[in-house]
Structure 1
Amino acid sequence: MLSKQQLIEYSEDARKNYVNHISIDCVVFGFHEGQMKVLLLKTHNEEKWYLPGGFVLKQEPIDDAADRILKERTGLDKIFLQQFKVFGDPDRSKVHNDMYQGLIPQEQNWFSGRFISIGYYALVDFFGVSPQQDQFSELCTWRDLDDMPEMELDHENIYKTALDTLRLQLNYQPIGYNLMPKEFTMPELQKLYETILGKKLDRRNFQRRILGFGILNRSEQPRKGGAHKAPYLYSFDLENYQHALTEGFKGGW
């Protein structure tokens, strides 16, 4: 929570530079050691968790604002970023309204009134991210999909909506280029899909279907090492991958 003086200074700066009552909240997905992960912020001296987010500069396009906010939190340029929903419940900012009630006049308080938030989700390379906290937070870190803390405001709803959108996307667009390393095995790619979907997939059916999309290249040599038969390495065919993102494909997992 900001002090009275901090709230005055922040509100003055925000009213001067940002579009009033429009925010952006981002659900950042990464994949590491067979686990789907989400990037979260924890506030100073409190066990309160939020999604990375921010506000839109007055002369800034919405998508550019999302790119800027994610670069500040992750250090990454050219993130795969998808706008998925606008969140506008009248009471979604009630926590902040109550928190700063009476600290300064309502008309001077940037956090008073109603905020409409534009939701984006991002798919990023786990190893490429350098998590950076914002001025309200003491920690910016990854949390496993099966170990998510309770979040403030409506951020849990935003996160769950993003995950549902990502699962739906698997039915008509490819997933993986932004999450997997440059080369990977078929079991590793299947594990990504299973983690997102939250269910097991038949190995043979998965391999037949994913190869049928024509978005993978197989290396001539299998992965070296290991006691068992070494699996072949695959990489994404970027031209076909981009075509599938644009044109889509049919079916479900």
Structure 2
Amino acid sequence: MRKQTTPDNQLQVDHPDGSGYLPGLAIDMVIFGFHEKQLKVLLLEYQNTNLLGLPAGFIKEKENLNEAAKRALTHRTGLHNIYLEQYYVFGDYSRFDPEPLRKILKSKGMNPGDDHWLLKRFVSVGFYALVDFTKAVPSPDLLSERCDWYDLANLPPLMLDHQAMIEKALETLRANLDRKLIGFNLLPETFTMGDLQSLYETILGEKLNRTSFQRKILSLDILERLEKKWTGGAHKAPYLYRFRQSREVAVPEKSFL
């Protein structure tokens, strides 16, 4: 897979003081990918280390936090105008472990001292996103060799506390799905109730009762019912729906990064 040549790959990992970046603060992104009843997560693989982890980023000294997250998301996926939300700050001292990063730097031919900026303690701001993984173009960063989608139900062991980050992000996604669904833009402009239920079931990881689901969704008043979907003559053809973009349940525009 070809590496990016964007400015994001110019991170000065060989500069031990981390010039130009806020010290001790990082971004970790849980990028969920959905398509046709599959739910995946984007991971970086570090060659010759047996380490895998979440895409991460750092905040420039004169850069807003949300802009840094947007920049990192675009570099890893090639996507723009994606709903990205801050969901948790990971700051426990127990998560501090410089050895995985030391191993990664050594795999790049470096011999970092204990005072190298990447080996110091970081507080990490967690962001999550949900995208159609068929539209993304995963790209590794300067320290990684591969960037790819992994089945959420069958993840390999991950470095540091990245498994816990994914679990927390998934918990947040599931809890806020009703309010955030419009923002994720995962469905075509018009869709059936079955399409919507399939999306819910994939993210929630469970089967839902069709009648109860339809009653719940319609009670949210976020859908506009259109004509029936043409199926060639069957009188039981399903109705098509689209989101009411003006409803309060829609994600505010300012939430888009």
Equivalent residue for 1:10? 13
Aligned pair partner of 1:96 in 91, 95, 100: 100
- Partner SS for 1:25: strand
Shift, 1:69, TM fit: 0.3
Q: Do the aligned residues in 2 keep the contact of 1:223 with 1:233 (CA within 8 Å)?
A: no
Stretch of structure 1 that moved more, 131-140 or 149-158:
131-140
Is 1:244 aligned with 2:249?
yes
In percent, how many aligned pairs have the same letter? Answer: 44
Aligned 1:43-58 pairs, distance under 5 A: 43-58=46-61
Relative to structure 1, is the Cα distance of residues 105 and 84 closer, same or farther in structure 2, using a 3 angstrom cutoff? same
Q: Do the aligned residues in 1 keep the contact of 2:228 with 2:237 (CA within 8 Å)?
A: no
Relative to structure 1, is the Cα distance of residues 116 and 177 closer, same or farther in structure 2, using a 3 angstrom cutoff? closer
1:14-38 per-residue CA deviation (whole Å, 9 max, x = no partner) reads 6212111110001112211111221
Q: What code does the residue aligned with 2:34 have?
A: F
- Partner SS for 1:66: helix
Aligned pair partner of 2:179 in 159, 170, 173: 173
Equivalent residue for 2:35? 32
Relative to structure 1, is the Cα distance of residues 164 and 14 closer, same or farther in structure 2, using a 3 angstrom cutoff? farther
Q: For 2:56 and 2:235, how far apart are their aligned partners in 1?
A: 46
Q: Which runs of 5+ in 2 are unaligned?
A: 1-11, 253-257
Relative to structure 1, is the Cα distance of residues 72 and 125 closer, same or farther in structure 2, using a 3 angstrom cutoff? same
Aligned pair partner of 1:150 in 146, 152, 157: 157
- Partner SS for 2:111: coil
TM-score (norm 2): 0.81
Q: Do the aligned residues in 1 keep the contact of 2:183 with 2:251 (CA within 8 Å)?
A: no
- Partner SS for 1:173: helix
Q: What code does the residue aligned with 1:65 have?
A: A
Shift, 1:150, TM fit: 1.4
Q: For 2:125 and 2:20, how far apart are their aligned partners in 1?
A: 18
1:156-200 per-residue CA deviation (whole Å, 9 max, x = no partner) reads 111100001111113x62425522233322112112112222222
Relative to structure 1, is the Cα distance of residues 119 and 226 closer, same or farther in structure 2, using a 3 angstrom cutoff? farther
Is 1:105 aligned with 2:109?
no
Shift, 1:42, TM fit: 1.3
Relative to structure 1, is the Cα distance of residues 222 and 97 closer, same or farther in structure 2, using a 3 angstrom cutoff? closer
1:190-245 per-residue CA deviation (whole Å, 9 max, x = no partner) reads 121122222221100111111221211233131436989432322222112xx114
Q: Do the aligned residues in 1 keep the contact of 2:32 with 2:130 (CA within 8 Å)?
A: yes
Q: For 1:14 and 1:47, how far apart are their aligned partners in 2?
A: 27
Structural RMSD (CA): 2.6
Q: Do the aligned residues in 1 keep the contact of 2:77 with 2:138 (CA within 8 Å)?
A: yes
Is 1:41 aligned with 2:41?
no
Shift, 1:98, TM fit: 5.7
Equivalent residue for 1:61? 64
Aligned 1:197-216 pairs, distance under 5 A: 197-216=204-223
Stretch of structure 1 that moved more, 206-215 or 219-228:
219-228
Relative to structure 1, is the Cα distance of residues 121 and 219 closer, same or farther in structure 2, using a 3 angstrom cutoff? same
Relative to structure 1, is the Cα distance of residues 226 and 119 closer, same or farther in structure 2, using a 3 angstrom cutoff? farther
Equivalent residue for 1:3? none
Q: For 2:144 and 2:233, how far apart are their aligned partners in 1?
A: 43
Shift, 1:114, TM fit: 0.6
Q: Do the aligned residues in 2 keep the contact of 1:28 with 1:124 (CA within 8 Å)?
A: yes
Q: What code does the residue aligned with 2:249 have?
A: A
Relative to structure 1, is the Cα distance of residues 30 and 104 closer, same or farther in structure 2, using a 3 angstrom cutoff? closer
State how many pairs are aligned.
Answer: 235
Q: Do the aligned residues in 2 keep the contact of 1:49 with 1:152 (CA within 8 Å)?
A: yes
Stretch of structure 1 that moved more, 195-204 or 78-87:
195-204
1:114-161 per-residue CA deviation (whole Å, 9 max, x = no partner) reads 111000001223333111111222221112221222111111111100
Is 1:184 aligned with 2:191?
yes
Q: What code does the residue aligned with 1:54 have?
A: G
Relative to structure 1, is the Cα distance of residues 115 and 215 closer, same or farther in structure 2, using a 3 angstrom cutoff? same
Shift, 1:92, TM fit: 2.2
